[in-house]
Amino acid sequence: MLSLENTENAFANRSDKELKKAHFVFKVLAVSWLNAIGTKLTMIALNLRLPVKSLIKWTVFDHFCGGETIDGCNPRVKSLYQYKVGTILDYSVEGDQNEKAYENCLTQLLEGLKLAEKEEAIPFCVVKLTGLIPFDILEKLDAKKKLTEKQQQAFERGKNRVHQIASAAKTANTPFMIDAEESWIQNTIDAIVFDLMLEFNKEKALIYNTAQMYRHDRLQYIKDLFAHSEENKIHIGLKIVRGAYMEKERERAKDKGYPSPIQVDKAATDRDYDLALAFCAEHHDTIAICCGTHNEASSLLLTELMKQRGISKENNYFYFAQLLGMSDHISYNLSKEGYNVAKYVPYGPVKEVMPYLIRRANENTSVAGQTGRELSLIRKELKRRSL
Ligand SMILES: Cc1cc2nc3c(=O)[nH]c(=O)nc-3n(C[C@H](O)[C@H](O)[C@H](O)COP(=O)(O)OP(=O)(O)OC[C@H]3O[C@@H](n4cnc5c(N)ncnc54)[C@H](O)[C@@H]3O)c2cc1C
């Protein structure tokens, strides 16, 4: 069986200096109190315009982000692709909910797609729909409440932006993935994405939705989506992830007194994740997947499923994806073996991508084992290089 433990492959694109820096970044992130104080102080300092930007840029930003602009990501795109690891440009500016911010997000996506059209190192583009459509409108629709006339107009403008991106993705021949978000807006997202699939996925999977397998209803969702795709003679694209908003989901369900949409435990999430991979591999003629995970067992399972079903490693309906700066041992070892691999490469002005960086910092303390694993792999490689 394929091994993901080879650290020489995993860190081949990092110089000794870069590896030492990665070691420093994860060591700091691993200390939870330092992490908590650090993130708070950083936000305060940035708001007070204290000169902390270069420190952030040199450390966490440089580790987890591609650059401040699409052009700025270019060296990273090239360096990843030297090892056949593709880039999924992820405009990670969050928070601002106004027309100007939505239009800016649209511009970024269209620019990214223009680049993807000529750059084989960029196999997908991605967006969160809340970057294009107001959250409260998605929430209202999910709750089956009637929109005001003004909200309806804002919703139409938002859907129009999404449609523009899908059309540009078609022109660029670059698949377009839509991230999954909170469960209380997800039905509306699913419906918008399904409409796009009906229009754009007739010949192949161009539009991908995302399924969060920490939700106990998502395996059934995938099966139903497949049934609908057969009825409508379309292909489907799916990014399969475990899900990023577990605590928030559980808390809201408790506060509002409805049953939690989240699985009872991690084992149930893992079970459904792997069943989803198996279901998609079984229907690989019309289902394309992007296996978005840092979980070694699930990544290895997909390689086995592909082997069992005679799916070639370079079949572009099968992609593995990790976040930049995390789980390089999975990305680089899989790409060395000839599998299709890509990294989410977040970008945006330092201050504006701070919420993303803070989430990465928190994840690296709260997700059991994640930082420990990164650190031990880096240490193993430092030792191998006698550093
Ligand atoms: C390329 C890529 C794209 C992504 N896109 C999205 C996206 O669109 N939307 C999104 O929400 N997330 C997204 N994520 C994040 C993802 O959902 C996970 O949070 C993250 O990858 C950790 O899960 P894992 O499979 O890598 O690994 P693991 O470390 O094996 O799993 C951790 C995950 O398991 C689940 N879990 C942990 N404890 C429990 C428990 N007690 N009960 C039930 N479940 C539990 C949680 O989802 C947790 O994040 C993406 C991740 C990647 C790599």
Verify whether ligand 1 is closer than 6 Å to residue 295 (CB atom): yes
The number of residues in the chain equals 387
Tens-digit pLDDT profile for residues 53-89: 788 888 889 999 999 999 999 999 999 999 999 999 9
More confident residue, 362 or 114: 114
Verify whether ligand 1 is closer than 6 Å to residue 214 (CB atom): yes
Q: How confident is the model at residue 33 (pLDDT cuts 50, 70, 90)?
A: low
Token code pair at residue 289: 């997947």
Distance spanning both ends of the chain, measured CA to CA? 30
Burial class (CB in 10 A: 0-12, 13-18, 19+), 298: buried
Q: Which of 38-42, 213-217, 342-346, 364-368 has the lowest mean pLDDT?
A: 364-368
H/E stretch holding 89: strand 85-91
Say if residue 292's pLDDT is above 90.
yes
Nearest to 131 by CA among 89, 103, 168: 103
Q: How confident is the model at residue 304 (pLDDT cuts 50, 70, 90)?
A: very high
Verify whether ligand 1 is closer than 6 Å to residue 242 (CB atom): yes
Say if residue 332's pLDDT is above 60.
yes
Q: What is the pLDDT of residue 53?
A: 79
Please state, in angstroms and rounded to a whole number, the distance separating the CA atoms of residues 160 and 164. Answer: 6
Non-local CB neighbours of 323 within 8 Å, separated by 6+ positions:
64, 294, 343, 344, 346, 360
Tens-digit pLDDT profile for residues 254-277: 999 999 999 999 999 999 999 999
Q: What is the pLDDT of residue 36?
A: 66
Verify whether ligand 1 is closer than 6 Å to residue 210 (CB atom): yes
- Find the 183 Cα to ligand 1 centroid distance in Å: 14
- Assign a CATH topology to domain 69-347: TIM Barrel (3.20.20)
Q: Are 176 and 167 in contact (CB under 8 A)?
A: no
Pocket perturbation via mutation, ligand 1, pick of 215, 241, 363 by most ligand atoms within 8 A of CB: 241
Please state, in angstroms and rounded to a whole number, the distance separating the CA atoms of residues 23 and 12. Answer: 15
Which residues of the chain are in CATH 3.20.20.220 domains? Answer: 69-347
Burial class (CB in 10 A: 0-12, 13-18, 19+), 338: exposed
Q: How confident is the model at residue 211 (pLDDT cuts 50, 70, 90)?
A: very high
Say if residue 128's pLDDT is above 50.
yes
Q: What is the pLDDT of residue 154?
A: 97
- Find the 181 Cα to ligand 1 centroid distance in Å: 12
Verify whether ligand 1 is closer than 6 Å to residue 243 (CB atom): yes
- Find the 241 Cα to ligand 1 centroid distance in Å: 6
Q: How confident is the model at residue 52 (pLDDT cuts 50, 70, 90)?
A: confident
Verify whether ligand 1 is closer than 6 Å to residue 294 (CB atom): yes
Q: What is the pLDDT of residue 366?
A: 47
Say if residue 367's pLDDT is above 60.
no
Q: What is the pLDDT of residue 32?
A: 64
Please state, in angstroms and rounded to a whole number, the distance separating the CA atoms of residues 373 and 386. Answer: 20
Verify whether ligand 1 is closer than 6 Å to residue 262 (CB atom): yes
Q: What is the pLDDT of residue 27?
A: 83
What percent of the chain is predicted at pLDDT more than 90? 80
What percent of the chain is predicted at pLDDT more than 70? 94
For residue 91, what are the β-bridge partners?
Answer: 347
Verify whether ligand 1 is closer than 6 Å to residue 193 (CB atom): no
Q: How confident is the model at residue 34 (pLDDT cuts 50, 70, 90)?
A: low
- Find the 292 Cα to ligand 1 centroid distance in Å: 8
Task: Report CA-CA distances (Å) from 54 to 36, 61, 73.
Answer: 20, 9, 17
Q: What is the pLDDT of residue 37?
A: 63
Query: What's the mean pLDDT when you consider all of the chain?
Result: 93
Say if residue 365's pLDDT is above 60.
no
Q: Are 241 and 212 in contact (CB under 8 A)?
A: yes
Say if residue 240's pLDDT is above 80.
yes
Say if residue 368's pLDDT is above 60.
no
Say if residue 41's pLDDT is above 80.
no
Verify whether ligand 1 is closer than 6 Å to residue 76 (CB atom): no
- Alpha helix ranges (H) inside 13-52: 16-30, 32-47
The closest residue, in CA terms, to atom 21 on ligand 1 is 293
Say if residue 90's pLDDT is above 60.
yes
Q: Are 177 and 208 in contact (CB under 8 A)?
A: yes
The closest residue, in CA terms, to atom 45 on ligand 1 is 266
Tens-digit pLDDT profile for residues 192-204: 999 999 999 999 9
- Find the 367 Cα to ligand 1 centroid distance in Å: 9
